[in-house]
Amino acid sequence: MSLGLRSYRTARTAKRCSMHGCRRAIQPGDQYLRTSLPPLVDVNSSEHWWSLNVCTVCMRDDATAEENSAARFNEQHPIGTPVRAYPGFRPEVDASARGLDTRTRSAASVLGRTAVVWVEGHGACIALTHIDVIEGGAS
């Protein structure tokens, strides 16, 4: 699950959406999402906090994308599918990251704004981006 902080705010000053490819203006009085990622977490590979302003259009697109990814996962991978889960960092981010070979114990769903799934042997849900399906594994 993402460790990012998210808060919904009402803009007091005009700003621009920071999502890639979106240059929509966020006007005073508009709702927007302020999201902050700690250093070295998720897509933030820098050593500094990232703060992003997300306009309502991007919020919606983002939520839909997560729902689609959960639905696609469920179509292809029933509960009990063997997976390697990375509760912390993915190995691409931290070479010492340790995967957990396990299987799913729930269908994927969107929790908050992140597509997640629960696996055996780990209490908390794990973002689908931290799940690799073990192809050819017996289920």
Q: Which is nearer to Zn ion, 12 or 23 (CB)?
A: 23
* 134 contacts: CB under 8 Å, gap ≥ 6: 82, 83, 84, 101
Distance CA 137, CA 133 (A): 9
Q: Which is nearer to Zn ion, 54 or 119 (CB)?
A: 54
CB of 45 to Zn ion, least distance (A): 22
Q: Which is nearer to Zn ion, 60 or 105 (CB)?
A: 60
CB of 22 to Zn ion, least distance (A): 3
CB of 4 to Zn ion, least distance (A): 17
Place of tokens 């969107």: 110
Instruction: Provide the token pair at 108.
Output: 């994927």
Q: How far is CA 10 from the centre of its chain?
A: 23
Query: For 32, which DSSP code?
Result: E
Distance CA 108, CA 136 (A): 20
CB of 19 to Zn ion, least distance (A): 4
Binding-site ranges for Zn ion (CB under 5 A): 17, 19, 22, 24, 55, 58
Q: Which is nearer to Zn ion, 62 or 132 (CB)?
A: 62
